[in-house]
């Protein structure tokens, strides 16, 4: 076999990008260098990702001296699902105590999701934990630092049986997250722009003044328009709690409205403000299920009021 034939065979079976004239040991050496370089890049990327862990906790200060875990849970659950302790199943809420074992006035709340932290700050920072304590201190809500995680740095050694139980608990928690997500995704997009205001009026006030509904809507429109673009206001005149719904054109305005209106005085009453959950069906006189006799009586009374003004 002559040299020309050998050259043609080499060209036929050659691999693009590989120089057949370089000795095999040199190619192996270059490949090793490339492998080491890729390994370094992978480790560097891994360290970077570890250093940017998500924060799912908030630090709360200026709490009342007699604050309870249940009270904190009820308030902060509005902002998202609160994480649970894997061993005890209790919500991950830590109230800091002094040497006498009494609450110091601060706590940490750990959520499942990072998004809940931002929402909690927007919704609850600089607000009153209890509406009746309006003359007290407002709570302060901010992102928690990593110090609350120190107790997790030394993990407890567990038996195989304990590990199985933990896996079952984690499965239940994941199912709970999925259920919570399903519930919020069906309502949050539709109702996240709607604010429910309570204690805006009494049924007696509406009965005594027929025009109060119009005046109330106008007052609420003027006040809420300072916050954002209001697209709809509904006064539920059959609700003893004096319920009014306000719809904004965006979610941010709705959140600001809750923070602004919750705990304020309106007509001598303390207002309660929250984002509508999409579940409660409030009643008003235009509903089809309203009693016809009540509606007729209301119309007759309105007619009498018109005649009295003639």
One domain, residues 64 and 137: yes
DSSP 8-state code for residue 52:
T
One domain, residues 205 and 138: no
Number of domains in the chain: 2
On average, the pLDDT of the chain sits at: 76
Residue pair 112/31 in contact (Cβ under 8 Å)? The answer is no
One domain, residues 210 and 132: no
Q: Is 45 within a domain?
A: no
Q: Please give the pLDDT value at position 185.
A: 45
Q: Is 224 within a domain?
A: yes
Residue pair 217/236 in contact (Cβ under 8 Å)? The answer is no
Residue 139 domain boundaries: 57-146
Q: Please give the pLDDT value at position 186.
A: 44
Q: Categorize the per-residue pLDDT at 86 as very low, low, confident or very high, splitting at 50, 70 and 90.
A: confident
Q: Categorize the per-residue pLDDT at 89 as very low, low, confident or very high, splitting at 50, 70 and 90.
A: confident
- Backbone φ/ψ region at 81: left (φ over 0), alpha (ψ -120 to 50), beta: beta
One domain, residues 139 and 204: no
Query: Mind listing the pLDDT tens digit for each residue in 233-277?
Result: 999 999 999 999 999 998 888 988 988 888 888 888 899 999 998
Query: Mind listing the pLDDT tens digit for each residue in 118-146?
Result: 888 988 888 888 877 766 788 999 999 87
Query: Mind listing the pLDDT tens digit for each residue in 183-225?
Result: 444 445 678 899 999 999 999 999 998 888 999 999 999 999 9
Q: Is 123 within a domain?
A: yes
CB proximity list for 90: less than 8 A, separation 6 or greater: 69, 84
Query: Mind listing the pLDDT tens digit for each residue in 282-301?
Result: 999 864 444 455 555 555 55
Q: Please give the pLDDT value at position 127.
A: 86
How far apart are alpha carbons 211 and 232 in whole angstroms? 19
Q: Please give the pLDDT value at position 32.
A: 53
Question: Percent helix, strand and coil across the chain, each rounded to 5?
Answer: 50, 15, 35
How far apart are alpha carbons 132 and 135 in whole angstroms? 8
Q: Is 206 within a domain?
A: yes
One domain, residues 62 and 138: yes
CATH of the domain at 256: 3.30.70.330
Q: Please give the pLDDT value at position 72.
A: 94
How far apart are alpha carbons 295 and 287 in whole angstroms? 10
Choose the weakest-confidence range: 47-61, 93-107, 127-141, 282-296.
282-296
Interval 81-107 mean pLDDT: 90
Q: Which of 120, 146, 172 is the last residue of a domain?
A: 146
């Amino acid at each position: 076999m002559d040299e020309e034939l050998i050259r043609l065979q080499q060209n036929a079976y050659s691999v693009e990008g590989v120089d057949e004239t370089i000795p095999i040991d040199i190619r192996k050496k270059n490949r090793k260098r490339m492998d080491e370089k890729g390994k370094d890049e992978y480790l560097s990327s891994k360290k970077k990702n570890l250093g940017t862990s998500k924060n799912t906790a908030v630090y709360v200060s200026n709490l009342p001296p007699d604050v309870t875990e249940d009270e904190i849970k009820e308030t902060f659950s509005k902002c998202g699902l609160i994480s649970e302790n894997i061993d005890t199943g209790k919500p991950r809420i830590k109230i800091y105590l002094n040497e006498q074992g009494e609450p110091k006035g601060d706590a940490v709340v750990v959520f499942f999701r990072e998004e809940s932290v931002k929402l909690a700050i927007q919704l609850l920072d600089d607000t009153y934990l209890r509406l009746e304590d309006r003359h007290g201190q407002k709570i302060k809500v901010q992102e928690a630092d990593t110090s609350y995680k120190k107790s997790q740095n030394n993990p407890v050694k567990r038996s195989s049986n304990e590990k199985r139980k933990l896996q079952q608990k984690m499965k239940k928690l994941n199912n709970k997250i999925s259920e919570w997500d399903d519930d919020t995704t069906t309502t949050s997009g539709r109702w996240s722009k709607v604010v429910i205001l309570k204690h805006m009026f009494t049924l007696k006030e509406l009965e005594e003044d027929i025009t109060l509904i119009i005046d109330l809507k106008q007052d609420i429109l003027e006040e809420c328009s300072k916050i954002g673009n209001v697209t709809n206001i509904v006064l539920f005149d059959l609700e003893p709690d004096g319920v009014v719904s306000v719809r904004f054109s965006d979610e941010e305005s709705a959140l600001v409205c809750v923070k602004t209106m919750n705990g304020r005085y309106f007509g001598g009453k303390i207002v309660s403000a929250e984002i509508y959950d999409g579940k409660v069906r409030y009643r008003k006189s235009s509903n089809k299920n309203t009693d016809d006799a009540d509606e007729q009586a209301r119309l007759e009374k309105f007619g009498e009021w018109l005649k009295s003004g003639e």
